[in-house]
Amino acid sequence: GDSVTQMEGPVTLSEEAFLTINCTYTATGYPSLFWYVQYPGEGLQLLLKATKADDKGSNKGFEATYRKETTSFHLEKGSVQVSDSAVYFCALSAPLSKTYKYIFGTGTRLKVLA
């Protein structure tokens, strides 16, 4: 079945370090891919998305490219800040016959130290 696999955390980085959080997926058809972020005590917020192969989603310095050949959607940021400390979820969305499915990865906790 369809699934999303994320690298396990926690990931601990120093401020201004480069961030990569790996995400791979399996899906039939052509899903859209998303990254959501969850700050402590809050719900999930959409960070970025890509809807077709080779699309690059970007927001707040974060980027991810939809790679169909490697079925990946890795999240990157060139210089992280303490305020980026949160849990990051990779997700895919794919249509079903009369509805759609939204599948989330298990989340990767990022901790950025000053």
Partner 1 sequence: KAGVTQTPRYLIKTRGQQVTLSCSPISGHRSVSWYQQTPGQGLQFLFEYFSETQRNKGNFPGRFSGRQFSNSRSEMNVSTLELGDSALYLCASSLGQVISTDTQYFGPGTRLTVL
Residues that bind partner 1 (CB under 8 A): 29-32, 34, 36, 42-46, 49, 51, 89, 92-96, 98-102, 104-107
Residue closer to partner 1 by CB (options 80, 107) is: 107
Longest dimension (CA), the chain: 49
Smallest separation, CB 61 to partner 1 (Å): 20
Residue closer to partner 1 by CB (options 84, 107) is: 107
Residue closer to partner 1 by CB (options 31, 75) is: 31
What does the angle CA 81 – CA 54 – CA 102 come to, to the nearest 5 degrees? 75
Smallest separation, CB 10 to partner 1 (Å): 13
Smallest separation, CB 16 to partner 1 (Å): 29
CA 98 – CA 3 distance, rounded (Å): 20
What does the angle CA 40 – CA 41 – CA 42 come to, to the nearest 5 degrees? 95
| DSSP designation for 84 | G
The candidate with the shortest Cα–Cα distance to 110, out of 40, 46, 33, is 40
Smallest separation, CB 114 to partner 1 (Å): 26
